[in-house]
Amino acid sequence: MKSEQPADPAPTASPAPHGPPGPAAGPAVTEAVRPEWSGIDRLPTIDLLRLMNAEDRTVAEAVATQLEPIAAVVDAVAARMGAGGRLVYAGAGTAGRLGVLDASECPPTFGTGPERVVGVVAGGQAALAGAVEGAEDRPDLAVADLEPLALTPADTLVGISASGRTPYTVAAVRRARAAGALTVGLACARGSALAAAAELAIEVEVGPEVVAGSTRLKAGTAQKLVLNLLSTAVMVRLGKTYGNLMVDLRAVNAKLRDRAQRIVAEATGADATTVRAALAATGGRVKDAVLVVLAGVDAPAAAALLAGSGGRLREALESAPPKD
């Protein structure tokens, strides 16, 4: 039986092996039962929480073993998105909801169009708020759900499954690969069907759950951490940040408008009056406002500099004419 300790690091981010993923019999490691935890229902609450918290602390270490494969995926996705491709997540249950969550947070954080990062979950919208029983066992639903996206070789599909053998998710990866898209399998087990179906694999083995089989726990946390790393690093590679500042955020409410002012102030060192004037002149666009202040250009010139640099603020600043 697998222990809860992190697995050894994967040596490389080479393509996942093809062919059968090994014996199909027996429960996945994510379904394993730890006999020593059989009495958790009799523990004092504080001891139950200590046990769960101790297990949670192992998750980040398990994710750390997969940083090289994650880096390979980031670079591959960034290259495709930079050429106009999309990042698509597909999964069932908790895994699918986490993909939808990550996709939904990219537009306000990084200013991406909603069509650039997409989440597909077995059972559709109804599955976001409740269980749609049986949807995860339907490969045909995965094919149907991907059809409207018309995947191309410029796109990437990341299949997410704790066990690595969810039929819906494996079918989504196979369908995407047949369309020529780059495919990635994100699982919490080694040697899975998902890894075998995908070109690249990220396999974060976190071991059995405190509540046996409840993969919304450590496995869900691991998946969320990996998706945070993946989408954030891709956006940094695409120039969606300036240093560690979210210069592509969409200031669509009072909180974000205040944040936009603070970001421009941090990036430029300008006073509040200058920052507000720059944001007003540029329609609230943070990158443009930074250029207005630092390069001494007007709003149309700032927009042109950004267009010429592919939206990368640092390059736009380097290409700006000297200030008078």
Q: Catalytic residue positions?
A: 105, 136
Tell me the Ramachandran region of residue 310: left when phi exceeds 0, alpha when psi lies from -120 to 50, beta otherwise.
left
Q: Give the Cα separation of 29 and 33 in Å (integer).
A: 9
Query: CB-based contacts of 134: which residues, under 8 Å, 6+ apart?
Result: none
CA atoms lying within 13 Å on the CB side of residue 55: 24
CA atoms lying within 13 Å on the CB side of residue 129: 2
End-to-end Cα, the chain, rounded Å: 70
204-241 residues labelled b (16+ CB within 10 A) or e (exposed): bbbbbbbeebebbbbbbbbbbbbbebbbbbbbebbbbb
- Sheet of strand 117-121: strand arrangement: 117-121, 87-91, 156-161, 182-187, 200-203
Q: Please report which residue ranges of 83-209 form alpha helices under DSSP H.
A: 93-110, 126-129, 139-146, 167-178, 193-197
Tell me the Ramachandran region of residue 147: left when phi exceeds 0, alpha when psi lies from -120 to 50, beta otherwise.
alpha
Helix, strand or coil for residue 58?
helix
Which residue(s) pair with 156 in the sheet?
87, 182
Tokens of 247: 């210069």
Helix, strand or coil for residue 323?
coil
The CA-CA-CA angle for residues 49, 162, 34, to 5°, reads 45
